[in-house]
Structure 1
Amino acid sequence: MALARRRTSRAGGHGPVSAAFARVSAVAITVALAVLPQVPAAAKDLGVRGETWAIAEPDLLQVLEARLLELERSGAMAAIEDEARARVRARLETPEPVAGIAPATELRSRLVDPSVVLDRDVRLPDGTLLAAAGTRLNPLDHTPFSRDLLFIDGRRDREVTWALDRPGPATIVLLAGRPLELARRHGRPIFFDQGGRLTARFGLAATPVEVRREGARLRVTEVPIPDDGAGP
């Protein structure tokens, strides 16, 4: 009977031995948790191995400031500024000619529809829809076109004379030549088709050309000028 009770205690795990073991384990865990935070860190300074040098790279801004000051003192800065102004002035005085333009050889006329189809919605700043994508708009319905456009090659005196002698209000636009010089010489504004945007818009391939409004469209007319042997 005593043997049976002893076996039952070992098998059930609730006897005096198990309880004592549980108390010992709890005490061991508590002691371990109390001791661990007091263990010093293992990291240490390993010292320096090999030779070392101080960082001697100069500050980039200081280098630039010193260089600019040197250029200013030597007069080189003024020369650089003068050269930059001269380049800009040269581009304004003699812009790059629009490519692919030749003198007109015959009288030709055609109508151009300036309408555009919107590829996106157009809205006012407050979000109000002004025109939806896919809408076809004709600028002539909203913008007056009261002055003819005269496209010429400013390097050809005959074309310049033709444009200046045209009756009625007109705007002269060069596709080549020196617009500022001609404006000073003739005392009237003369423009240049920078980048050939208007040339591409109207499909121009020759000069001189007259563009005038005709209802809701624009009439583009190439006008040949006879070569009288005087001037280029």
Structure 2
Amino acid sequence: MAWHGALMASTLGVAMVVSPCVQARDLGNYGEVFAVTEPDFLAEIMARLKAMEADGGLAKMERDMQDRTRSYAMRPRSAGALPRAEVNRAFDIDLTIQVDRDLADHKGQVFAPAGTVVNPLAYSHFRKTILFIDGDDPEQVEWAVAQGTELDSLIVLIKGAPLELMRKHGRRFWFDQDGVMTGRFQIARLPSRVFRMDPVMRVEEVALQKGKR
């Protein structure tokens, strides 16, 4: 009978699938078994910190960090020394830029399409003269201080100790860290004076006479 044969085939198929489970048995353990353990990273760090605290290493690290911070504040990292100007020279710097992509506000409204030419001076009210000097050259420092007050000028150091000069002269001294400003205004010799000469910025290199401001 056809149905009988089909039932037998189905039964055998089920038996073949089930039989391995029915016949499963414990084969025992082969080789040594170890528990899975992982070090607690935070606990390890805390243990090292406690050890450093105990032997004075942590206090030394804190002192070293404070010394480095204090040293950097007293004398920031310089982008490099620049020579003194030997002759008076003047040139202009055009700050105009061309937008390379659409600029939009927080609502997505484009206020400057790609290709737009913009001169920042057209939107800036900054009128102070910027004086670039070597803070380690006393003659350049005296020259800069004599050029005006903080109301009309900013003194920017290429290198030197701004805090020490602030205490001595009673006014703020700025520092051109990593030479960002000197690069933008193409400052090559010191001292240099930078001021507006719309629509450009005028750069003047000033040759100081020895012993005179």
Give the structure-1-normalised TM-score: 0.82
SS at match of 2:182: helix
Is residue 210 of structure 1 aligned with residue 193 of structure 2?
yes
What is the number of residues matched between the two proteins? 210
Compared CA separation, residues 52 and 123, structure 1 to 2 (3 A): same
CA distance in 1, matches of 2:5, 2:31: 51
CA distance in 2, matches of 1:27, 1:116: 86
Compared CA separation, residues 44 and 142, structure 1 to 2 (3 A): farther
Runs of 4+ in structure 1 deviating by more than 3 angstroms, as ranges, are: 33-38, 42-46, 51-58
In structure 1, give the amino acid aligned to 2:164.
Answer: E
8 Å contact kept, 1:207–1:222: yes
Alpha-carbon shift at residue 212 of structure 1 (Å) = 0.5
Alpha-carbon shift at residue 98 of structure 1 (Å) = 2.6
CA distance in 2, matches of 1:72, 1:218: 56
Alpha-carbon shift at residue 167 of structure 1 (Å) = 3.2
CA RMSD of aligned residues (A): 2.3
Alpha-carbon shift at residue 43 of structure 1 (Å) = 5.0
Is residue 32 of structure 1 aligned with residue 15 of structure 2?
no
8 Å contact kept, 2:136–2:159: yes
Bigger Cα Rg: 1
Q: Equivalences for 1:47-196 in 2 at 5 Å?
A: 47-54=28-35, 58-99=39-80, 101-167=82-148, 169-196=152-179
CA distance in 2, matches of 1:30, 1:49: 38
**Please, which moves more after superposition, 97-106 or 139-148?**
97-106
**Please, which moves more after superposition, 87-96 or 151-160?**
87-96
Structure 2: 5+ residue stretches without partners? none
**Please, which moves more after superposition, 69-78 or 161-170?**
69-78
Compared CA separation, residues 132 and 40, structure 1 to 2 (3 A): same
In structure 2, give the amino acid aligned to 1:46.
Answer: L
Compared CA separation, residues 71 and 212, structure 1 to 2 (3 A): same
Compared CA separation, residues 43 and 108, structure 1 to 2 (3 A): farther
Give the structure-2-normalised TM-score: 0.88
Compared CA separation, residues 31 and 167, structure 1 to 2 (3 A): closer
**Please, which moves more after superposition, 207-216 or 57-66?**
57-66
Alpha-carbon shift at residue 79 of structure 1 (Å) = 1.9
Structure 1: 5+ residue stretches without partners? 1-19
Compared CA separation, residues 87 and 43, structure 1 to 2 (3 A): farther
SS at match of 2:91: strand
**Please, which moves more after superposition, 197-206 or 55-64?**
55-64
Residue in structure 2 matched with residue 14 of structure 1 by the alignment = none
SS at match of 1:103: coil
Compared CA separation, residues 48 and 31, structure 1 to 2 (3 A): closer
Compared CA separation, residues 55 and 28, structure 1 to 2 (3 A): closer
| Cα offsets for 1:166-224 (capped at 9, x unmatched) | 03610000001111111121111111101101111111111000000012111000001
SS at match of 1:210: strand
CA distance in 2, matches of 1:122, 1:200: 25
User: Relative contact order (alpha carbons < 8 A, sep ≥ 6): 1 or 2 greater?
Assistant: 2
| Cα offsets for 1:112-137 (capped at 9, x unmatched) | 11111111211101101111111111
